[in-house]
Structure 1
Amino acid sequence: MDRPDRAARFDLNAGDIVAALRGQNLEVASGTLGQQPMDNPGAFEISVQTQGRLRTADEFGDVVLKSSPTGALVRLKDVARLELGAQDYATNASLDGKPALALLFNQEPGANALETAETILETVAAMSKRFPEGLSYDVVFNPTQYVAKSVEKVQETIFEAVILVALVVFVFLQSVRAAIIPIVAIPISLIGTFAMMQAFGFSLNNLSLFGLVLSIGIVVDDAIVVVENVERNMKEGMSARDAAHRTMDEVGGALIAIALVLSAVFIPTAFLTGISGEFYRQFAITIASATIISAGVSLTLSPALSAILLKPHSTKDHSVRWWQRPINGFFSRFERLFDRVSHGYSALTGKLIRMSVLVLAVYVGLMALTGVQFGRAPTGFIPASDQSYLITVVQMPAGTSLKRTEDMLQRVVTTALDHPDVAHAAAFAGLDGATFTTASNSGTVFLPLKNIGDRMDRGRTLDMTLSDLRQTFGQWREARILVIPPPPVRGIGNSGGFKMYVQDRSGAGYPALEGATWSVAGPANQLAPTESVFTVFNTASPEIYADIDRIKAEQLGIPVEDVLDTLAVYMGSSYVNDFTLFGRSYRVTAQADAPFRKTPDDIARLRVRNADGNMTPIGSVATFEDRIGPYRVARYNLYPAAAVQGDVTAGYSTGEALDAMERLASEKLGEDFSFEWTELALQQKLAGNTAAIAFSLAVVFVFILLAAQYESVTLPLAVILIVPMSLLSAVSGVLMRGMDVNILVQIGFIVLIGLAAKNAILIVEFAKQAQDKGMSAEDAAVEAAHLRLRPIIMTSFAFILGVLPLVIASGAGFEMRQSLGTAVFFGMLGVTGFGLLFTPVFYVTTRKAADWMAHRLLKRPISAPASAK
């Protein structure tokens, strides 16, 4: 800490002090004695060592600033106070109202978050044993806890899904031996999927685990189809071995087609770019890998196990044990019920085929309804999730000192801790939580909340806590206090909600920019979809303007550069160089001591050297005046800009909020100003039609593969036409639960394309085989629908119950799980119901269309019609 008055008495200015420090505190390489090249090298080479960097305050105090002809020395300690202090005094931290030092740990790219956190906690725990008395530590914010709990919940979901799938398989196959075969496919397929995930560099995160949850219902499907068909053939009197052989002839083509279709649905989405592509990619690779491995298992292991494990059904009852009788009774009633349903479905299928024109008209009507439902559905991006903490931003009047801001934060902390949902309050005076920059009039309080399970047990949601705190702090008048949720994706923005920049594109000036910004931020709070809209930009921060008379300075022989350097060093805390302590480098800084930088008069008394060597006060060449202006001005895409941030009102989607803000900004901003989105809102806008692209690619690839599989252009339509019905069911379910169409729902739509095609293929493939054997298209469709009803119901119920835990999810990360689960759950109900009714009609219609086209274009005879049974 320089004392400018003492320095001036010794005819020293700020530049002299900084130059002396830089000249006497530096890292040097002193070289080596006897180092080559030499004419007569010696026996040894000896390194030369000297002290370059200084290490202690006493050593810095002995730095020589000036010497006289008599040998008198002026040292740094003669004109300055030296201390080992903090590098930055712009912020102060406290925890629950007590002084604290905050340590922030950042994870390196590619590191395992959970392992990193565990290592840090173990290290700090070991270090705490050496803490002095009265010093302790507390971990108040650990985002990996949310990750760990969320992953744990998904793992529980996977276990629940396996149990439910196994139960469905057992009920329909009614044999432990038969149920073992599809269940064995689950671990084999998942282990293979883990290997593929590792090969692609994926970690076990929420997205990849979601993919595994969906994969469970998919991987058992193929094995179920194999086992059911073997059982059906065995009921006709065939041995298990022969039944397995015949099954491969009957369903092998369908299984290959299903694997190709599901891969065609997911793999193209893996090449999408942007943040949406990252979401799609992990799902795509995970599910595609599971599907391909499952297909291999169903074509090899499943028939082999069927031939070994399955036994002919015995009609005799004398060997049945007492505890098996109620189970067998249930199975008998179930079979009778299913047989009635199966025969009723066959009759209904025949009627629908005969009324195909009416059925197609209904289909067109449902297509129109699908469009209406999508038009009604609000759009979102990434669901906001309860991460068990909130951010409180405190804005004091411009120019407020750090001490006053700290006092206000203490009041905020005390009030927040009185709320039953708040566990801790970590306050940072001087930190602007809206921009994560420093300002003396700003403060931020991070509010870790109590365990999400405990809060949900009490019926408390994050929105409730957020609303309570906003209502409480909204009544305060001494400061503007904003409570905002964290960002849904860490690393993309500092808070949840949305953020836009109002840009000055014509140089209108900062006051005009402030007015334009408030013309948007003010009315935005009156819009229905938005709330807590604010801006921290203002042009009323107090300033002292030093007006340097450059002509007078030149006349007095005072270099303007020296005036500026003096201001920079004494007032601005100038960085000089570095020193070494505890094996690490730290900064050496120079600054005027506190009593010499309190008032404008202190600036005027600072002295600089003129051409005659005399020390002249800065006040002789500069005047000082009070002004106001912006404390900090951001630039966004080259233009001066001010941020407008806000949150989405409960019950509205982010898409609705962004659209409302765009309309308001377009209306309020003049020609000199414009706006652009940033952070997560920008990503949502950039995602734009990503879902439409992914959906279109999936449908096109499915069509191409099926066209190649069936060597037909029309027959794939019998499979693809059912896809819109799955989307109708999915979006209706999303609307019914009050959700928006976010990126996870969109991923669910992609999944449904493959599932809808899978069920349709089972009917179409069998119908084609039957027609190739001489049946009419109508009879072949009815026969295929009848034979494929059980495997379709089995696989569909296995998948539906497999995703049921997602639909009713709770705990950490439940928002994303519910979004995905709702879409695929209701969509799969539509795939099953609409698929069973419409697919036979689509098959007959497309076959007739193919015959008609062949007759008209190739002059082939039209196949003879036959009545559906």
Structure 2
Amino acid sequence: HISDLDRLLGPEEVDRPEVPEGVEAYLSRPGFTGKLSRFYDRVFLWNQANGIRVLALAVLLFVGAVGIVVQSWFGPTLGMRPMLKLVFFPEDTSILHIAVNTRPGTSLNQTDDIVRQLSRELRETGLVEVAVGLSGMKLDTTYRPQFSHQFGLVMAEFPIRSERVYDNPNDAIEAIRQKLQQRWLERGVRIEVTGQKDGPPIGAPVTVRVQGSDQEGVDEISRKAYQLLKDESQPGGRLEGVVDLASDRDQQSHALTFIPDEKQMAVHGIDPGQVRTFVAGAFDGIYVGDYLRTDDEIPIRVRFHQEATRDPTSILGLPVARGGDTGVLRFGEIGTVKGTSEPGILRRRHFQRSVNITGNLAPDAVINSDTVSFVIEDVLGDEVRSMSGVSFNYEGEAQSTNRSFETLFVSFWIAVFVIYLILSAQFSSVFYPFVILSNVAFSFTGVVLVMALLALFSDILPSGWVREERSYITVSAFIAVIGLTGIVVNDAIVLMDFIQRRRREGLELDAALRMAGHERMRPILMTTISTIAGLLPMAIGIPHFDVRWSPFATVFVAGLMVATIMTLLVVPVLYRYSYRFHEALKAPEREVDSQS
């Protein structure tokens, strides 16, 4: 009966509200999402209407970012403060090393007294928790031990974070350096205050190696280079900020040379081997046999009594052999003793004489290791090139940093090239992949600009407001840039896929761009916000700031934030112009097909 009634009376008319479709469905949403969609739509339409201006601004920002990188790389060689701070492995130091270098000829007992007193003074500063001293050795910049009576080493541990009276360990190291270094230098003791590195042993920030086959030339050039670095590192010099300069030439030892008189030896019938045996036996003893035990063999050496050789010159009065008149022939009759000063360290590299000059950089130093090489080449370059047997090598942290960044840079471009090949096959075009890869440039721009601003704020704002370490471009930060490439490219791929879908559905180009932008806006923003929210505590330093991971997170956040904005606002503009360019190239082909 109900169906019959419907046929007689017709269907009942019911008022149904019109449901907005397309872009209007997003613009009519209530609440915050509706306001965000309407704001995005206004900015989107303005960008489409002013595409040339938008692209010019994007290119200008990218060129500015490239300029900042170039200035940071080459500026320090010209005495300019770098806008970006490139650091190989930032250190969150917890252990302090103080290398002790006393005067040549200092006995081991005297060095031990100095190390003990230095350890006490270090603990009295209140900046370290415990200090341990070693006498007779120290560690070089690659943690290899060096042994000598004039060397000492003090290792100290900083308190745990909650008990420290400072926030940055570098500030404590600088305070210790200023408090103790000059005081001990006045006593003739040179100390080097450094923090133990957390990363691999890559050497000192400043490492200059002079080497060659011409030993005299190597010694002369190393002396001039060392003096040049000392002079230029003074306040007002081109290398102000270089501290803890040290050279192999600093480590000298006193030596006594026994010079036989060959003429007198011939007169008395003394063989040179007999003289060598006499000198060696006087001080080290002569092996005469073994004392056999049931479980071991003990070598026996015969030497003069220690009292007889306590003064090395007393060897002149010791008997060597019987004379021709049955008298006693003493060493003073056939030889002399000469005191000399010799290098404490003799290095050879690739069978050539080598002298190392090392130094550290103060935390507030404007220069870097490239500045040091520039100054040395400027002053001594021509002289070194004119000497066939001498050359310079710049190693240590500078070499490791350059090598690592070059490797990562090559890896970055390989990744971009592989992504381009995959996108070209996916979209069957050589132009559209460049639109997607523009997001890589946008993320690079965001990273450089944000890190440069952080570096600027750390310099101009009061100390403690913005930590300097937050603006470091480290190896891990560069790895973050490479990882960021995949994320930002993925957002652009999905957006372009939605644009092409709407085109296949019959929408005009401008309508397809607008519709795809609204469809992908909220998913892209949610992905970005959730990623940033996960990385933000690490970037800010909650609960504790980590100098190794904070730059990594900051780079990720900065690049992702800028690339997301560019994806939603600039990528559609780039697609619009690339589509027109693509169609313009196909127009002649279509005309030929129509004529045929």
Q: Deviations over 1:14-61 (max 9, x none)?
A: xxxxxxxxxxxxxxxxxxxxxxxxxxxxxxxxxxxxxxxxxxxxxxxx
For 1:833 and 1:748, locate their aligned partners in 2 and report how far apart those are by CA, in whole Å: 19
Say if 1:559 and 1:386 are closer, same or farther in 2 by CA, change over 3 A.
Answer: farther
Say if 1:460 and 1:559 are closer, same or farther in 2 by CA, change over 3 A.
Answer: farther
What 5-or-longer segments of structure 1 have no aligned partner? 1-235, 237-333, 863-869
- Residue 364 (structure 1) aligns with: 59
Matched residue SS, 1:522: helix
Q: Write the mapping of 1:96-115 to structure 2, written as runs, cut at 5 A.
A: none
Say if 1:713 and 1:763 are closer, same or farther in 2 by CA, change over 3 A.
Answer: same
For 2:288 and 2:568, locate their aligned partners in 1 and report how far apart those are by CA, in whole Å: 78
- Residue 627 (structure 1) aligns with: 340
Amino acid at match of 1:364: V
Amino acid at match of 2:504: D
Once the two structures are TM-superposed, the CA of residue 566 in structure 1 deviates from its matched residue by 4.7
Say if 1:566 and 1:755 are closer, same or farther in 2 by CA, change over 3 A.
Answer: farther
Please say if residues 139 and 146 of structure 2, whose CA atoms lie closer than 8 Å, have aligned partners that are also in contact: yes
Q: Deviations over 1:777-824 (max 9, x none)?
A: 322222111111111011111111111122123688811101111111
Matched residue SS, 1:661: helix
- Residue 477 (structure 2) aligns with: 745
Q: Deviations over 1:691-714 (max 9, x none)?
A: 431222122111111111111111
- Residue 564 (structure 1) aligns with: 276
Please say if residues 525 and 532 of structure 1, whose CA atoms lie closer than 8 Å, have aligned partners that are also in contact: no
1:465 to 167, 172, 176: 172
Please say if residues 206 and 372 of structure 2, whose CA atoms lie closer than 8 Å, have aligned partners that are also in contact: no
Amino acid at match of 1:463: N
Q: Write the mapping of 1:702-717 to structure 2, written as runs, cut at 5 A.
A: 702-717=419-434
2:444 to 717, 727, 734: 727
Matched residue SS, 2:527: helix
For 1:622 and 1:773, locate their aligned partners in 2 and report how far apart those are by CA, in whole Å: 107
2:370 to 643, 656, 659: 659
Q: Write the mapping of 1:615-694 to structure 2, written as runs, cut at 5 A.
A: 618-652=331-365, 656-669=367-380, 670-671=383-384, 672=387, 674-687=391-404, 689-694=406-411
Say if 1:856 and 1:412 are closer, same or farther in 2 by CA, change over 3 A.
Answer: farther
For 1:681 and 1:737, locate their aligned partners in 2 and report how far apart those are by CA, in whole Å: 24
For 1:459 and 1:557, locate their aligned partners in 2 and report how far apart those are by CA, in whole Å: 74
Please say if residues 514 and 538 of structure 1, whose CA atoms lie closer than 8 Å, have aligned partners that are also in contact: no
For 2:115 and 2:395, locate their aligned partners in 1 and report how far apart those are by CA, in whole Å: 29
1:600 to 277, 296, 312: 312
For 2:218 and 2:370, locate their aligned partners in 1 and report how far apart those are by CA, in whole Å: 27
- Residue 228 (structure 2) aligns with: 520
2:417 to 696, 700, 705: 700
For 1:539 and 1:434, locate their aligned partners in 2 and report how far apart those are by CA, in whole Å: 13
Say if 1:487 and 1:536 are closer, same or farther in 2 by CA, change over 3 A.
Answer: farther
Amino acid at match of 1:626: G
Q: Write the mapping of 1:141-540 to structure 2, written as runs, cut at 5 A.
A: 336-374=31-69, 375-376=71-72, 377-434=83-140, 436-455=145-164, 458-473=165-180, 474-476=182-184, 477-478=186-187, 479-493=189-203, 496-503=204-211, 506-508=214-216, 512-513=220-221, 515-526=223-234, 527-538=239-250
Say if 1:459 and 1:441 are closer, same or farther in 2 by CA, change over 3 A.
Answer: closer
For 2:522 and 2:290, locate their aligned partners in 1 and report how far apart those are by CA, in whole Å: 77
Matched residue SS, 1:722: helix
Question: Which stretch of structure 1 is more off in the superposition, 441-450 or 507-516?
Answer: 507-516
Say if 1:707 and 1:356 are closer, same or farther in 2 by CA, change over 3 A.
Answer: same
What 5-or-longer segments of structure 2 have no aligned partner? 1-18, 20-28, 73-82, 456-470
Does residue 828 (structure 1) correspond to residue 540 (structure 2)? The answer is no
For 1:577 and 1:681, locate their aligned partners in 2 and report how far apart those are by CA, in whole Å: 54
For 1:779 and 1:576, locate their aligned partners in 2 and report how far apart those are by CA, in whole Å: 103
For 1:848 and 1:731, locate their aligned partners in 2 and report how far apart those are by CA, in whole Å: 32
Q: Deviations over 1:166-190 (max 9, x none)?
A: xxxxxxxxxxxxxxxxxxxxxxxxx
Please say if residues 517 and 535 of structure 1, whose CA atoms lie closer than 8 Å, have aligned partners that are also in contact: no
Please say if residues 219 and 355 of structure 2, whose CA atoms lie closer than 8 Å, have aligned partners that are also in contact: no
Amino acid at match of 1:355: N
Once the two structures are TM-superposed, the CA of residue 483 in structure 1 deviates from its matched residue by 1.1
Amino acid at match of 2:358: Q
Please say if residues 501 and 677 of structure 1, whose CA atoms lie closer than 8 Å, have aligned partners that are also in contact: yes
Percentage of identical aligned residues: 20
For 2:226 and 2:285, locate their aligned partners in 1 and report how far apart those are by CA, in whole Å: 35
- Residue 18 (structure 1) aligns with: none
Q: Deviations over 1:464-515 (max 9, x none)?
A: 211221111223311122212223424333xx53322233664325763553
- Identify the structure with the greater strand proportion: 2
Amino acid at match of 2:535: V
Q: Deviations over 1:278-312 (max 9, x none)?
A: xxxxxxxxxxxxxxxxxxxxxxxxxxxxxxxxxxx
For 1:750 and 1:737, locate their aligned partners in 2 and report how far apart those are by CA, in whole Å: 21
For 2:291 and 2:503, locate their aligned partners in 1 and report how far apart those are by CA, in whole Å: 87
For 1:467 and 1:847, locate their aligned partners in 2 and report how far apart those are by CA, in whole Å: 59
Q: Deviations over 1:734-775 (max 9, x none)?
A: 222222433222212212222221111120111122222322
For 1:847 and 1:490, locate their aligned partners in 2 and report how far apart those are by CA, in whole Å: 50
Please say if residues 211 and 218 of structure 2, whose CA atoms lie closer than 8 Å, have aligned partners that are also in contact: no
Please say if residues 500 and 675 of structure 1, whose CA atoms lie closer than 8 Å, have aligned partners that are also in contact: yes
Question: Which stretch of structure 1 is more off in the superposition, 407-416 or 565-574?
Answer: 565-574
Say if 1:605 and 1:858 are closer, same or farther in 2 by CA, change over 3 A.
Answer: farther
For 1:760 and 1:578, locate their aligned partners in 2 and report how far apart those are by CA, in whole Å: 83
Amino acid at match of 2:426: Q
Once the two structures are TM-superposed, the CA of residue 614 in structure 1 deviates from its matched residue by 11
Please say if residues 521 and 644 of structure 1, whose CA atoms lie closer than 8 Å, have aligned partners that are also in contact: no
For 2:291 and 2:42, locate their aligned partners in 1 and report how far apart those are by CA, in whole Å: 90
Say if 1:510 and 1:782 are closer, same or farther in 2 by CA, change over 3 A.
Answer: closer
Say if 1:490 and 1:717 are closer, same or farther in 2 by CA, change over 3 A.
Answer: closer
Please say if residues 452 and 811 of structure 1, whose CA atoms lie closer than 8 Å, have aligned partners that are also in contact: no
- Residue 90 (structure 1) aligns with: none
> Please, what TM-score do these two structures have when normalized by structure 2?
0.78
Once the two structures are TM-superposed, the CA of residue 625 in structure 1 deviates from its matched residue by 1.2
> Please, what TM-score do these two structures have when normalized by structure 1?
0.55
Q: Deviations over 1:537-593 (max 9, x none)?
A: 238532211112345445645443343345446535899999999x9x999685846
For 1:695 and 1:858, locate their aligned partners in 2 and report how far apart those are by CA, in whole Å: 39
Please say if residues 499 and 645 of structure 1, whose CA atoms lie closer than 8 Å, have aligned partners that are also in contact: yes
